[in-house]
Structure 1
Amino acid sequence: MATEIKAPVFPESVADGTVATWHKQPGEACQRDELLVDIETDKVVLEVLASADGVLSEILKPEGEVVLSGEVVGLFTEGASAGAAPAAAAEAAPAASAATGEPLLNPAARRLVDEKGIDPASIAGTGKGGRVTKEDVIRHAADSASKPAAPVAASAPAPAPVENTAPIFAGERTEKRVPMTRLRAKVAERLVEAQQTAAMLTTFNEINMKPVMELRSQYKDVFEKRHGVRLGFMSFFVKACIEALRRHPVVNASIDGNDIVYHGYQDVGVAVSSDRGLVVPVLRNAEEMSLADIEAKIREYGKKAMDGKLGIDDMTGGTFTISNGGVFGSLLSTPILNPPQSAILGMHKIQERPMAVNGKVEILPMMYLALSYDHRLLDGKEAVTFLVTIKDLLEDPARMLLDV
């Protein structure tokens, strides 16, 4: 008896999803809890697993098709064994593909190949009938990055021309068009919405990172040995922001219609870059977390973001956001608000600069800080005072421990 395979129930904030990748083909056997299909939404990629041992009977929603919450996407037969007819059909497809010289790619794999500029023919497919999956593309890209470029022998003959391939001439103006991922489209929509609906303004300051760097250098080995995680700079900034949000609760508030909503907790979002785009997982109840807890959670979120495993719950909510463009070398920027939040802190590159200290010039590791805020809720005085509080706490880290 066939069992319906349904798309996951989406949260209220997610209207629909797109079938990204079928990991099994009709007639292919699978085991309980084995991945059947990926459903891509505006925020995350949701996985649909097999409910029991059996065979995928039929695909009702092919890759690239839009599905609603709880909609049936396929049929599954429990306890059945793989049939010969579907397998033969699956084998016939690669044969037809071989005739045209084009490898079979899933839509998700095709999109990733176009984004990374990889030749599909160089990827070994591990899917049914040699189909190239998204995982194959990611693995190929990682292997290529880890391998040094092979030296070209001086006596090597010129490669033979490939038939049926249009030559590319010097100076030729080429273009390619690829569809936006749902996540990229949603991020674009929210960024434009933030600029159109909020009275956004940015204030800047600079911070001497020497005290934090010395403290980190002194205790990083002991910290890692005791807690099992490395001590980074982000945990110090999160701690400083939590204390500053306590002292300036309006920065932690948000606007809902004509009301101001004050939050009695600090859910701090940390912007993380991934292959799918920018995501902002949330450190929930960050005010209760230690430096080690913060570092461990950020590391967990970073790994999940790279693996595409972040869940909707991981990115829901948030009362304040921290974005670190310094890891990419940014010296100064104006971060955009993450609605409905009223402020976002931008960290930047640490760079040595000559600074006047007690009438003398010293070379100090300095960082520019940027605070973008919604001027409808925060006045300039409140925003500047908040940023100065963060600066004071980080230039004297003991103040965070002594609460002074």
Structure 2
Amino acid sequence: MATEIKAPVFPESVADGTIATWHKQVGEAVSRDEVICDIETDKVVLEVVAPADGSLSAIIKNEGDTVLSNEVIAQFEEGAVSGAAQTQAVQSEEKVEQAAAQTQAGNAPVVERAQSVSDQAPAVRKALSETGIAASDVEGTGRGGRITKEDVANHQAKPAASATPLSVAVGERVEKRVPMTRLRKRVAERLLSATQSTAMLTTFNEVNMKPVMEMRKQYKDAFEKRHGARLGFMSFFVKACTEALKRYPAVNASIDGDDIVYHGFYDIGVAVSSERGLVVPVLRDTDRMNYAEVENGIRDYAAKARDGKLSIEEMTGGTFTITNGGTFGSLLSTPILNPPQTAILGMHKIQERPMAVNGQVEILPMMYLALSYDHRMIDGKEAVGFLVTVKELLEEPAKLILDL
């Protein structure tokens, strides 16, 4: 029985999507709930699964095509597998037998790789053409060794071996043109909009991380044994920011037209870097979360971001954002606002520096903090007060635990 395969119903904030990868081809056997297609939106990658056991009878939207919400992208045949799939299965069995014979003869089995550009999906052919990469040079990770767009991108990102000279004529200036992903374009649009539509200002301070580091060192093993989560620095920052937001409601507010919206809840976004770009999943009601819940939430979001499994709901909303450039070695930066939020905290690298303490010079692990804020909504006094509060709570973490 033929069934229409449709794109998911996109939320209002997502206008359309792009077919990223077909994991199954026409006639290829597929099991119920097996992923057959990925659709990339400007926020997340959505998976389309098979409604039953069977095979695709027709692909209507090819890789690289734009699709709308609930639009038909393929035809699916339930039950019997088509003759094309049966032929493919026989060919696969023959290849396995040939590999086994080679192994018995003392030869290593040869893995077949797609050699011809014409054998690839339209989006892959386009990516190969734009990057100038030969299909034979790319290791395909798709079904049957097929090359995906991600394979082309990963191959391009690989650093050239130091011992292998570039095959470029002397004096030649090489350029490569690669189209932006939908997510990268959306990030670019939002960042540009933030700089053009807000009165953004950044204030700085520094925090002595020694108290937090000593507490973490003392209790990290017991914490992990008790809660099954590693005790990191981010949970201290999330809890400190939550308390500071309670004291300075304007930093937790947003601007909607000519109105100021004060939020009576604390949903903190944590910027996470992924291969597809920067994403900001949101921890909900952080005032009700303990340290273990914060750490587990961040860990789960990081894993989902790496695997492209974050949902739109997990990245929607948020009243405040924390970003940590220190993981990449940044010593100081000015983070850009994440509208409609009116403030964002930037963490940075912990670096030992000589500091004056009670008239004596001590070497302390210091971190610069940066708070970017919308001056239309937040006055300098409130911004500085918020940042000083975060600093004080981190330098005396007992206050966080005792709610002082």
Superposition TM-score, scaled by structure 1 size: 0.87
Structure 1's 45 and 235: CA in aligned 2 closer, same or farther, altered over 3 A?
Answer: same
Q: For residues 359-370 of structure 1, what are the structure 2 equivalents within 5 Å?
A: 359-370=359-370
Report the Cα distance in structure 1 between the residues aligned to 2:251 and 2:129, rounded to whole angstroms.
42
Residues 1:311 and 2:311 aligned together:
yes
Match of 2:106 in 1: none
Q: 1:104 aligns with which of 99, 103, 120?
A: 120
Residue 28 of structure 1, CA deviation: 1.1
* Equivalence for 1:302: 302
Matched AA of 1:133: T
SS in 2 for 1:188: helix
Give per-residue Cα distances to partners, 1:344-369, cap 9 Å, x unaligned: 00000000001011111111000000
Instruction: Tell me by how many angstroms 1:10 deviates.
Output: 0.3
The 1-side partners of 2:32 and 2:325 are apart by 42
User: Quick one: structure 1 residues 380 and 126, their matched pair in 2 at CA, closer, same or farther if it must change by over 3 Å?
Assistant: closer
Match of 1:210 in 2: 210
Match of 1:347 in 2: 347
Distance 1:246 1:364 in 2: 29
Q: Deviations over 1:205-259 (max 9, x none)?
A: 0000000000000001111111111100000000000000011111100011111
The 8 Å contact of residues 102 and 121 in structure 1, kept in 2 or not, is answered as no
1:67 aligns with 2:67: yes
Match of residue 121 from structure 1:
136
Residues 59-91 of structure 1: CA distance to partner in whole angstroms, max 9, x if unpaired? 001110100000000100111213238967xx9
Question: In the alignment, is the contact (CA less than 8 A) between 2:14 and 2:42 conserved in 1?
Answer: yes
Q: Matches of 1:21 and 1:64 in 2, distance apart?
A: 8
1: CA distance between counterparts of 2:224 and 2:364? 26
Which residue number in structure 2 is paired with residue 3 of structure 1? Answer: 3
For the residue of structure 1 that corresponds to 2:344, the secondary structure is strand
Is 2:128–2:134's contact at 8 Å kept on the other side of the alignment?
no
2:288 matched to which residue of 1? 288
Q: Distance in 2 between matches of 1:52 and 1:205?
A: 58
Look up the match of 1:162.
none
CA deviation after TM superposition for structure 1 residue 110, in Å? 7.1
- For the 8 Å contact 1:28–1:83, the answer to whether it is kept is no
- In structure 1, how many angstroms separate the alpha carbons of the residues matched to 2:176 and 2:150? 23
Query: Separation in 1 of the partners of 2:129 and 2:302?
Result: 23
Counterpart in the other structure of 1:25: 25
The letter of the residue matching 2:252 is N
Is 1:391 matched with 2:391? yes
Does 2:219 align with 1:219? yes
2:236 aligned residue: 236
Aligned partners of 1:197 and 1:27: how far apart in 2? 51
Indicate how the Cα distance of structure 1 residues 136 and 196 shifts in structure 2: closer, same or farther if over 3 A, else same: closer
TM, length-normalised to structure 2: 0.87
How far does residue 131 in structure 1 lie from its aligned partner after superposition?
Answer: 1.6
Structure 1 residue ranges (4+ consecutive) displaced by more than 4 angstroms after TM superposition = 85-88, 100-103, 108-115, 117-120, 134-142
Separation of aligned partners in 2, 1:113 and 1:382: 53
Q: CA deviation at 1:201?
A: 0.3
1:130 deviates by 3.6
Range that drifts further, 272-281 or 169-178: 169-178
CA contact (8 A) 1:104 1:130 kept: no
For 2:306, give the aligned amino acid: M
Q: Distance in 1 between matches of 2:118 and 2:60?
A: 25
* Aligned counterparts of 1:323 and 1:273: Cα–Cα separation in 2: 10
Q: How far did residue 127 of structure 1 move?
A: 3.6
Q: Residues 103 and 120 of structure 1 are in contact (CA less than 8 Å); yes or no, is this contact kept in structure 2? A: no
Aligned to 1:78: 78
Contact residue 32 and residue 53 of structure 2 kept, 8 A:
yes
Where does structure 1 lack aligned partners over 5 or more consecutive residues?
A: 153-157, 160-165
Percent identical residues? 69
Q: Is 2:148 aligned against 1:133?
A: yes
Which stretch of the first structure deviates more once superposed, 334-343 or 224-233?
224-233
User: Structure 1 residue 302: deviation in Å?
Assistant: 0.4
Aligned mates of 1:108, 1:38 — CA distance in 2: 14
Residues 49, 242 of structure 1: alpha-carbon distance in 2 compared, 3 angstrom cutoff: same
